[in-house]
Amino acid sequence: MITFEGAQVYLPNEIAETTVAVSNGQIVEIGGPAQGEVIDARGLILAPALVDVHGDAFERQLMPRPGVYFPTETALIDTDRQLATNGIATAYHAITLGWEPGLRDVARGRDLMQAMVDLAPRLTVENRVQLRWETFAFEALDVIKWALGGPLLPSVAFNDHTSMTMRAYDVQIQDRAFELSPDFSIASLDDDRMKKRTASKAHRAGLSEQDYIALLARVWDRRAKVPAAIAEVAQMARAAGAPMLSHDDTRAETRAYFRDLGAGVAEFPMVMEAAEAARAGGDPIIFGAPNAARGGSHIGSLGAGDMVEAGLCDALASDYFYPAMLAAIARLDAERRADRLALWSLISAGPARAMNLDDRGEISVGKRADLVLVDWPDGSAPAVQGTWVAGRCSYRGMPAG
């Protein structure tokens, strides 16, 4: 048994200085006498550990420079340790299953997931997967079926960056229509502006601009078959009990379409219409923590801080930078967007609920002992001093002072 003593504890409905006892991976008592190993947490915060529903920062460990790949095991072990040091006890790695070669190739995604399974006994936090499926990537269907039947307990996110790339040149990303609508306006592939639009994607895929656009043209020819593929993946996910998310919605119609398929979570809605449609439908809404930490979206979409204040955000995800989750809470707290407990729920209870993880996300008797000790002096950035996953210490960082 372990007892945390002297901390300011973030309970579901209050912040209180109390004891929290942990045994056999669960929280067994709050407010009782110290028993077993006692952890002196005076001057620190004891809070529910973080749940990250969408993070792809692991790609920097896999490919730290463009075209330079590192061994997968090395990259995963380093990623796992980064998660622990940032207080993240449950992480959904957003593994893109797309039609591009290179970093986001389907075969590479499967190899990465297999490595996660093989490495599981050596990892310190709970590493799960978000199957970040590009809806034009029909070559991913077998891998999705394999992953849904395996031990990584994935979620499924429906992404359509193909249509986003193919939108008319005079249409901003946030203004595009529902991707499967007959009213969706389409850009010409022969226009020089397409080279500019796809240059970074071609670089990531290891292709010339010309070859990338030729590949895009072949993939775009699949468009008529995309709805049937989406329906097939949704059916597989429902059968597996996997949470499903739509990504970058710009229309109420988009949210309604995916909700009807069982995708009950709105991930990164780009405009107010989509966010309000999600709220009206009772769908959890996820925004990126970097958006909140930086004070706005880097691509001109909705500001996460504004959405928190408006009651239109239930969870913040690390997106592309693991430290952003705590940094976001610190900024939102400084801006008085909501009270501390409400803000902390955006990185713990909120994402846990969105992923149907009823056993974690709050400090209550009977919940899994996923806990984080945080040093957060007034006016300073919070820093993690310890992370426990199911009662097991995955990280302990004692400052030099």
Nearest CA-CA partner of 178 in 232, 119, 250: 250
Q: How confident is the model at residue 280 (pLDDT cuts 50, 70, 90)?
A: very high
Examine the pLDDT at 230 and tell me if it is beyond 80: yes
**Side-chain-facing half-sphere of 320: CA atoms under 13 Å:** 8
DSSP state of 297: -
Q: How confident is the model at residue 395 (pLDDT cuts 50, 70, 90)?
A: very high
Q: How far apart are CA 160 and CA 49, in angstroms?
A: 31
Q: What is the pLDDT of residues 89-126, one digit of tens each?
A: 999 999 999 999 998 999 999 999 999 999 999 999 99
Q: How confident is the model at residue 356 (pLDDT cuts 50, 70, 90)?
A: very high
Q: How confident is the model at residue 299 (pLDDT cuts 50, 70, 90)?
A: confident
Examine the pLDDT at 401 and tell me if it is beyond 80: no
Sheet containing 126-134: which strands, arranged edge to edge?
A: 50-55, 88-97, 126-134, 155-159, 244-247, 265-267, 285-288, 315-317
CB-based contacts of 185, cutoff 8 Å, min separation 6: 167, 168, 171, 177
Q: How many helices (H) and strands (E) does the chain have?
A: 15, 18
Q: Residue 66 has what pLDDT?
A: 85
Q: In a 3-state reduction of DSSP, which class is residue 347?
A: coil
Examine the pLDDT at 298 and tell me if it is beyond 90: no
Q: What is the 3-state secondary structure (H, E, C) of 28-55?
A: EEECCCCCCEEEECCCCEEEECEEEEEE
pTM: 0.97
Segment 55-60 mean pLDDT: 96
Q: What is the pLDDT of residues 321-338, one digit of tens each?
A: 999 999 999 999 999 999
Q: Which residues of 237-258 are buried (b: 16+ CB within 10 A; e: fewer)?
A: beebebbbbbbbbbbbbbbbbb
Q: Residue 281 has what pLDDT?
A: 98
Token representation of residue 39: 């952890």
Q: How far apart are CA 286 and CA 302, in angstroms?
A: 12
Q: What is the pLDDT of residues 148-204, one digit of tens each?
A: 999 999 999 999 999 999 999 999 999 999 999 998 999 999 999 999 999 999 999
DSSP state of 177: P
Q: In a 3-state reduction of DSSP, which class is residue 155?
A: strand
Token representation of residue 317: 């995800």
Segment 350-362 mean pLDDT: 98
Segment 210-233 mean pLDDT: 97
Q: In a 3-state reduction of DSSP, which class is residue 188?
A: coil
Nearest CA-CA partner of 128 in 148, 150, 110, 152: 152
User: What sign has the CA pseudo-torsion 140, 142, 144, 146?
Assistant: negative
**Do 168 and 185 touch, CB atoms closer than 8 A?**
yes
End-to-end Cα spacing for the chain? 28
Q: How far apart are CA 267 and CA 248, in angstroms?
A: 6
